[in-house]
Amino acid sequence: MLPFAWGGLVGLVFSLVGAAGGILASFGLISVLGLTDANQVKPMAQVLTLATPLIAVPHYLRQCRVVLRLGFILATGGLLGALVGSRLSMHHLADLSEFKPAFAILVLIIAAQLAWSLRRSGQSAGPAARAAAAFEGLVLQGEPTCSVGVQRRPWSWRRLEFEFGGEVFGYRPATAFAAGFTIAALASALGVGGGFLLVPFMAMVLRLPMFVVAGTAALAIFISSSASIVNYMVMGVQLDWGLLIPMLIGTIVGAFLGPHISRHFKESWLRILLASVLLGIGVKYLVG
């Protein structure tokens, strides 16, 4: 039951905030379930991050909370980055004594960035805050969310735009592609999905509402993580299916519940949850 329960936690947290699922999976495989082979932990954790997008993304699509263009651009860069990152990590982060400090430092950096974004979001109300408020109001009224959901706008090669919650958001395709490549390379090297970097990138750099970030991140992660897992297996890593299958079942259950629960969370609550999870795991591995 322990692998099943931990998988449920992975799926729930990842589908709620679009991040930290891979981090929780790696932490659970090493510190809760006792795996000692770092190269085995990496693809197994990423397999768990695949289950969540399969369940969560269709729900987010029905709620009109996925920016498809952005998701596919991030995934295209991520596909290449995952191949590079997994190959480098196989040889340079193969020992847990090397893997855990690198894992901890990166997680703490992301937690600090997210905490800073919480401080800033409390001081000003920009388009993302207004869009989130409009979406939250619609949910409270019981109205269909697609009436204020993601809507495409005319595009160009230099800038893509979409509308959500009555506000217009834009981004440069080249920036999104480069971010997808870099994030996937780091995520593949550390054996996580990449949401812990994709979410801050979309929320803090692109300044998008968290209500569209989770589903969009999950879509991009599914593609890049698939490439990383296949590459690890091609390089000879064996997965422990006896441990992985009950975790997968739990992850699917948690991923199914996440999109329904997240509709009733305030945006600030989702950010606090993510920052708290990352801080706890980072401190644990840095001092332990």
Residue 77 · residue 218 · CB < 8 Å: no
Spatial distance between the Cα atoms of 60 and 66, rounded to a whole number of angstroms: 6
**What was the pLDDT predicted at 118?**
65
Q: Which DSSP state fits 239?
A: P
Residues 6 or more apart in contact with residue 23 via CB below 8 angstroms: 103, 107, 192, 196, 277, 278, 281
Residues 6 or more apart in contact with residue 251 via CB below 8 angstroms: 7, 8, 10, 11, 21, 48, 51, 52
**What was the pLDDT predicted at 265?**
67
Spatial distance between the Cα atoms of 86 and 98, rounded to a whole number of angstroms: 15
**What was the pLDDT predicted at 84?**
93
**What was the pLDDT predicted at 85?**
92
Residues 6 or more apart in contact with residue 80 via CB below 8 angstroms: 181, 184
What is the reported pTM? 0.77
Residue whose pair of structure tokens reads 């999870």 in the numeric block: 277
Closest of 151, 145, 146 to residue 168, by C-alpha: 151
**Adjacency order of strands within the sheet including 151-152:** 151-152, 160-164, 167-171
**What was the pLDDT predicted at 123?**
44
Domain range annotation of the chain:
2-287
Spatial distance between the Cα atoms of 256 and 5, rounded to a whole number of angstroms: 14
Residue 132 · residue 167 · CB < 8 Å: no
CB burial of 246-272 (b: ≥16 within 10 Å; e: otherwise) equals: bbbbbbbbbbbbbbeebbebebeebbb
Return per-residue pLDDT of the chain as tens, 288 residues: 899 999 988 888 777 765 677 788 888 999 899 898 989 999 999 898 887 777 778 888 888 889 999 999 999 999 999 999 999 888 888 888 888 888 888 788 878 877 776 665 544 568 888 888 888 787 777 777 787 888 888 877 789 999 998 889 999 999 999 999 999 998 888 888 787 788 878 988 898 888 888 889 888 988 888 999 999 999 999 999 999 999 999 988 887 887 677 666 666 677 677 788 788 888 888 886
